[in-house]
Structure 1
């Protein structure tokens, strides 16, 4: 093996390899090749800028649409809360009117029964008249207790309604950002 040698491939330094393509061999000067690549890069850059502008315009439109939708949603929530509040106000007004009417009826009924009891006691003398009056008084007292229970129940409903009204008002204030 003495005197044997291996030949190495000779690489021509004038020939360049870029991205798997041998350049400098196609009779196009390296300067022209670079200029052509620069023009392609400028065109790609211009296309990218146009696409970015389009995307920015679309984003602006979507932001505007989102803002409009959020505004409409807030208005809808506001209207719903106001509607609920109005219904609650109407119910409370009716409950108050019913309560006032019941109280007036109870007061009137009590007065009438007392007057009737007095008249009976004056007109009737003796034990029989007294027992009837006592029975009427007992009946009247029972009726008064029933009416007072009704009044208490109506007052409880009014209190519940007032509490619900306060809660609804607080929710409305929060929704309206007050």
Structure 2
């Protein structure tokens, strides 16, 4: 489109925000790009009509209002606190928006952690890579999600454990960047 001359009365179109990515971006790169936008994961619980407790996991993405990339400073208070992550009455900052919602039972979280451990452990014959070692350490030494102990715990403690577990695995996945892949990743 040729530029209008200075004396012309033609109107210029307003600029619109466009998200672009190189065509050669791998599927892994696209996933990591999307994960980088996730600010936190919040866990809430409820009891359905049959009396079964389920947990709702909400994924929050920061909805920045400032479009100038050089002015996007990381605010340490911008992430969801432990209190907000488990308390449904806690006010969520207006700069966050929920982009996904998932409903699962407690045992399904325990199964997911077991599967993640098995993938990370079986990916290496001898010494695991840094990522797989981080997953194994988080699952073995992090918060314990025991199916049997779920009945003796308060719902708030269970929600805190789930939120911490999911957020720590999210931070681990976000930290790997574009490093070399192994089958555990």
TM-score range, shorter chain: under 0.3
TM-score by length of 1: 0.24
Higher strand share: 2
Task: Say which one has the larger Rg.
Answer: 1
Q: Which has the higher contact order (CA 8 A, sep 6+)?
A: 1
